[in-house]
Chain A
Amino acid sequence: MNRYAYFPGCSLKENSKHYEESMLPVFEAIGCPLEELEDWNCCGATAYFSVDGNMAAAICGRNLSLAEKEGKDILAPCAGCYLTLKKSSLFLQSGEPAARKILEDLKRAGCEYQGRSAVKHPLEVLIREVGLEAIRQKVVRRLTGLKVACYYGCQVVRPYTDFDDPDHPTTLDSLMEALGAEAVDYSAKTRCCGGLLTGTIENVGLRLNYLLLKEAKRKGADAIVTICPLCLFNLELLQDKIVKTYKDDVKIPVFFFSQLMGLALGLSRDDLGFSRSTIPLEAFWAKIRNGGHHV
């Protein structure tokens, strides 16, 4: 098993603490303990690429260089961090004159990057390196009877991902089925949640998320499972407003995939950040063996 430098980014330290709280014990349980990348800086997300492309790649270059010095690949659970770091890493290795110049500047600032450190998403590591069979063997509490809508969003599967299909991804569905849950046929699985637009042009953001919630409800899902902090933020925290605006009861719990994986591996619900949900979970716990407490 490779060793990974865990890159939390801003979300996993603030609004999506429960992603970190569940990811770390899950990776520990599968025998791949994660250590946080020392003194990482913010990836810049979509914002920096909108202002200055070279600068965006350069500030990511510092993180890539830090991981390379630790001799590790970067593991980035946030879709924004994952894409931004991966995009920068590919650009810096492209050999283009602008990229070569940035690499020189990085080196001069003490942040040499030779392209040895790669950027991976936890889902990719679970599917490609750990393997579904090994995960299945570790499951002690099958999530039988739980129906989930697997929502991939955009930036993990597009445009650079080679571990899944950009239009019809299936890795999260097969992971959930390995845990014993049923993945419903969720046709909106890669339709965009609008990202930051929910904060900047709200009416557009609300409508996009309404469609996603409605489709999950229509397919009979008990919960939506995400792999991105911003997707979870939009889908979960806008629900009250969406219910009011569209007069349609589309309330549904939204989880990070690592939370459900933790439950299946037998960890206690108290150690997986479930208390951070703003949606009532009574109906959900009724479906989980032992109510989600230690098995």
Chain B
Amino acid sequence: MDIERKVKYEHELNAGFLDDIKRLSHCEEIDRCIQCGTCSSSCPMSVYMDHPPRKIIGFIKNGFRDEALRSFTVWLCSSCYTCQVRCPAKIKITDVMYALRREAIKDKIYPRNFSIPVMDKEMTKLIVRDGRNSEMRLILRLYLKSFRPFNLVKMAPLGLKLMKTGRMGLKRNRIKKQGRKQLRAIVKAIKENGQ
């Protein structure tokens, strides 16, 4: 039988990872983590995570870039900020999760057609184009691009309820032409700066 090596050698670790995430999350405190586990025990999602937040912070401190970016945790974080307000080392854990998401999206490390990054990207596209989000259009794009048209059918009862109570947004929302021009100029300038 094949026996796999379970431990990484130091040269396989990503030495610059900690500094990258510190910069991207605007959080200098990451290496002050004392591994107390307040984040993991506060997190309403940790029961579903492959690696709870404490372990993710450990990964970052020690250069386990792949493990952190491939973890499902990054996508399960619902941005409730409970861990962040409770962390005794004042680590902005939620902002760290955002930074990991951005790195994972940049490197295209996520399950193909996985709905969360698809949703994130589609929403940003709508905003850049129209200046506003249009709920129905976002939902349609989400289900089509994540190849789950069947789920759209399952959503029908919910859609019907929204329709009956006049809460379904069917039209395309847009801001004024001059506003859209402003937004495009802003987006272009920021893109040129890079991250």
Contact = CB atoms under 8 A, between A and B. Distances in A.
Interface string B67-93: 000000000101111101110000010
Contacts of B81: 154-155, 158-159, 166
A58 B195 CA distance: 13
Interface residues of B, number: 63
B123 A105 contact: no
B128 to A, nearest CB: 8
B52 interface: no
Interface in A102-130: 102, 105-106, 108-111
Given A44-B127, A199-B142, A105 B186 contact: yes
Contact of A191 (B44, B84, B131, B139): B44
Nearest to B183: A41
Contact of A192 (B78, B85, B135, B187): B78
Contacts of B127: 41-42, 44, 48, 59
Contacts of A10: 132-135, 169, 173
B173 A204 contact: no
Interface residues of A, number: 64
B105 A51 contact: yes
Given A13-B173, A16-B167, A197-B78, A44 B179 contact: no
Contact of B190 (A17, A102, A276): A102
Contacts of B144: none
A292 interface: no
B85 A158 contact: yes
A163 interface: no
A62 B128 CA distance: 12
Contact of B157 (A18, A45, A158, A240): A240
A108 B188 CA distance: 12
A191 B116 CA distance: 21
A14 B179 CA distance: 21
A47 B166 CA distance: 26
A253 interface: no
Contacts of A94: 26
A105 B44 CA distance: 38
Contacts of B26: 91, 94, 96
B94 A159 contact: yes
A208 B124 CA distance: 27
A262 interface: no
B156 to A, nearest CB: 12
A25 interface: no
A277 B166 CA distance: 10
Interface in A189-228: 190-192, 194-197, 199-201, 204, 208
Interface of A: 10, 13-18, 39-42, 44-55, 58-59, 61-62, 91, 94, 96, 98, 101-102, 105-106, 108-111, 153-155, 158-159, 166-167, 190-192, 194-197, 199-201, 204, 208, 237, 240, 275-278
Interface of B: 24, 26, 44-45, 48, 76, 78-82, 84-86, 92, 94, 98-99, 101-102, 105, 115-117, 119-121, 123-124, 126-127, 131-135, 139, 142, 157-158, 161-162, 164-169, 173, 175-176, 178-179, 182-183, 185-187, 189-191, 193, 195
Given A54-B190, A190-B82, 12 more contacts: A15-B135, A16-B167, A44-B127, A50-B101, A51-B102, A51-B120, A58-B186, A59-B187, A110-B182, A159-B84, A195-B80, A199-B119
